Amino acid sequence: MPPSPPPSRPHPESLAIGALLTVLVALGQISISLYVPSMPSLVAEMGTSAERVSLTLSYFLAGFAMAQLVYGPLSDRFGRRPVLLGGIVLYLAASLACALAGTIEALIVARVVQGMGACAGPVLGRAIVRDVYGRERAAQVLAYIGLAFAISPAVTPIVGGYLQVWLGWRANFYLLTALAALVFWAVWLMLGETNRRPDPGALRPSGMASNYVKMLRTPEYVGYMLSLTFVFAGLMTYVAVAPFVFIDTIGLTPDIFGLVNVFNVVGFIIGTVAAGRLTPGVGLARMVGAGIVLCLLGGAAMAGTALAGHVSVVAIVMPLTVFTAGMGMVFPNAMAGAMGPFPRAAGAASALLGFFQMGVAAAVSALAGWLPHATHLSMGLIITGAVAVALVGFSVLVGWRRLAS
């Protein structure tokens, strides 16, 4: 049995709670990026194909998407803390099942469940930020959390690459199991309840449907949701395809591939710093619009280098740095912009946002996994197409008039 929590927990706005929320928001990203360097080796070790290995990513995202529709309303009704603890327990058990999987089919199933548990962290972490800070400050806080969050895709592929070289792919999932245990204890001991006004009707089917319909009828919500969703789909396209291009085509080893990802994080850090400093004066809409344009330029440049026949680390990393800079501007502002109109249903708003974000990413990454990996052309074209959808959706639903306001 866990020990009784201490009589006084850290203040919700303390640095300790900020660090914990960062880990929670990053839990899904950590679960993806840690094992990415192992994906090509799984083809031989599991006696399967690259397309089926890619499904371990797509199905993780699908499980992540489906569970979000449950976590949001549950947390609006019963509070963030108990629902978060339950999700972490599910994540821990699934991570251990991944480590013990003997076939690619077993790994795919375990990854679905792992995604269902992992999504408790981002959904409830974002809702907790909205509970504590309010709409405008939430954008700033999410931007700075995003800055720390940027460390995840920089560090975890390096760790995953070395674990793959030294101990094999199972070590990555054992590490995720240990992380889940650590996060559970931290939440139990440190994090109090932040939902001070539980909604008794949050779990009523009619109430849930009413909330979701209301959100989907709000143009501002849908515009920001499309911005976040399709930019993220571009990122997941890179995650699904890049290991095979870098390792199988270009010839990098898993540990060096992990190191290469450090350069991609530079752009994301620049974008999140810009979001944190400029959003109060510039506004959410302008920052999202500028970020989408940068993402589009990065995707187009990546496709262009492939069409020109330049298949190299630089030809992929440089455009992706531009893309991730834009992504760092889009993510915190689009999240805050979407959830802002729904303070009493922050959990449901976050859940619906995440459902579309992960569901679309699952479909797009699955498509990317089945396309040729000999060059980065398919990756660049899909990223460009996804961001173009984000730009059109944002322009129509949020409106360029909002940018001028």
Q: Per residue in 231-275, pLDDT tens?
A: 999 998 998 888 888 988 898 988 888 888 877 778 888 887 887
CATH superfamily of 15-192+210-403: MFS general substrate transporter like domains (1.20.1250.20)
249: DSSP letter: I
pLDDT at 395 over 60: yes
Say how far residue 405 (Cα) sits from the centre of its chain.
30
Q: Tell which wins on pLDDT, 153 or 324.
A: 324
State how far the alpha carbon of 348 is from the alpha carbons of 208, 305, 386, in Å.
8, 41, 25
Domain boundaries, the chain: 15-192+210-403
Confidence of residue 147 (pLDDT cuts 50, 70, 90): low
C-alpha 195/C-alpha 191 separation (Å) is 12
Confidence of residue 86 (pLDDT cuts 50, 70, 90): very high
Say what angle helices 170-190 and 15-33 make with each other, to 10 degrees: 160
Predicted confidence at residue 347, as pLDDT, reads 66
Q: What is the mean pLDDT of residues 377-381?
A: 91
Predicted confidence at residue 180, as pLDDT, reads 95
Determine which of 156-160, 315-319, 320-324 has the lowest per-residue pLDDT on average: 156-160
Query: According to the per-residue pLDDT averaged within each range, which of 88-92, 158-162, 288-292, 342-346 is highest?
Result: 88-92
For the question of whether the overall pTM of this predicted structure is more than 0.85, the answer is: no
Predicted confidence at residue 353, as pLDDT, reads 83
pLDDT at 6 over 60: no
Predicted confidence at residue 273, as pLDDT, reads 82
Predicted confidence at residue 134, as pLDDT, reads 63
Predicted confidence at residue 2, as pLDDT, reads 47
C-alpha 138/C-alpha 23 separation (Å) is 17
- Do residues 305 and 375 lie in contact, with contact meaning Cβ atoms separated by under 8 Å? no
pLDDT at 170 over 90: yes
